[in-house]
Structure 1
């Protein structure tokens, strides 16, 4: 039995050699256009490949049932913008905390938090990249300008870290990074509206 988003498919599992062939057949359905697979359950257990083409190594004789859960790309993009808003708030708060710790000469704690802030910023760039690619936002001037501004600041911060100039880094965080991050709140809100209008 194969179920996609609660609807049973008339595909005979046993007519395929392995799980990968079955999944490829399901993906050929026009329903899957503009949809992103969020979960795959094989025999009622979560399945995700540990190595490429692992599904090819699972013979169809071992497959009793497949359940696939998907989400529309537009819905996914709206969810990403919601997450981005949360991430921007974390970046804003984190930058203030790091700057304060450096000014208090608590370098060890500040450096620890700074590493977390850099990781969150990298994740932010990753999420923004997914949005840009899925919705061809290269032509979106405020979006592109905001990415460039934050990217340049990120590079400058890394250079200042290399010189271990923590006071300059604090100033960069408070007076340039935080305002740049706060500008993203409006951009994200506008993006969410534009993505919803595409539906």
Structure 2
């Protein structure tokens, strides 16, 4: 099998690898993160172990990987583009609730939760990286930021449980939006420091 790794310099020893998972483990053990895997021109990035076995043998394997720092920079750039759209979505949700269009408002709210879930995941990854974690402490009071973020989400869930659209609108407008703006500024500042 011909193996080509793009994006990072990785030392893949001239060994016979048993499967794609072993190759990915070797790459990740050297500090890179695999973002895409192409086998014989087919994207197999999200294949299960059983699905990978079914396509064996592979003639040509292309792996796209990034360093953790590059992946974080890309994610922060995505945050900078994404948060303004989330805030715009919040404005639309509040408007829909105010106009009495609750079904459409709740539908948009579910999409907002997906975006918030992605932001939570990213924040969790950033906290695990010591360099990023230290930079976050230098930019903001991280504990206060995380508490504010978690409290906003908890109140949002509580208001949603009670189906109180007025309270939901207030939380979205006066608690979640300011925290998202802080998150945006944090991402922007971290991106500048990392670049």
TM-score, normalised by the number of residues in structure 1:
0.79
Unaligned runs of 5+ in 1: none
Question: How far 1:117 sits from its partner (Å)?
Answer: 1.1
Q: Partner of 1:45 in structure 2? A: 42
Encode CA deviations 1:62-117: one digit per residue, 9 max, x unaligned.
23222222212111110000111222112211111111111111111111111111
Conservation of the 8 A alpha-carbon contact between 2:27 and 2:33? no
Stretches of 4+ aligned residues off by more than 6 angstroms:
6-10
Query: What root-mean-square deviation, in Å, do the aligned CA atoms of Structure 1 and Structure 2 show?
Result: 2.9
SS of residue in 1 equivalent to 2:59? coil
Using the TM superposition, name which of 89-98 and 63-72 deviates more: 63-72
Conservation of the 8 A alpha-carbon contact between 1:36 and 1:71? yes
Q: Partner of 2:189 in structure 1? A: 190
Q: Partner of 2:73 in structure 1? A: 78
Conservation of the 8 A alpha-carbon contact between 1:19 and 1:63? no
Q: Partner of 1:175 in structure 2? A: 174
Distance 1:81 1:181 in 2: 13
Question: How far 1:187 sits from its partner (Å)?
Answer: 0.9
Conservation of the 8 A alpha-carbon contact between 1:98 and 1:170? yes
Q: Partner of 1:120 in structure 2? A: 115
Using the TM superposition, name which of 140-149 and 168-177 deviates more: 140-149
Question: How far 1:50 sits from its partner (Å)?
Answer: 2.9
Question: How far 1:145 sits from its partner (Å)?
Answer: 2.6
Distance 2:25 2:107 in 1: 48
Using the TM superposition, name which of 18-27 and 160-169 deviates more: 18-27
Unaligned runs of 5+ in 2: none
Distance 1:113 1:53 in 2: 36
Distance 1:119 1:45 in 2: 28
Distance 1:92 1:21 in 2: 39
Q: Partner of 2:94 in structure 1? A: 99
Determine if the alignment matches structure 1 residue 11 to structure 2 residue 10.
no
Conservation of the 8 A alpha-carbon contact between 2:35 and 2:66? yes
Distance 1:72 1:41 in 2: 19
Q: How does 1:147-186 map to 2 (within 5 A)?
A: 147-186=146-185
Larger Rg: 1
Distance 1:178 1:24 in 2: 39
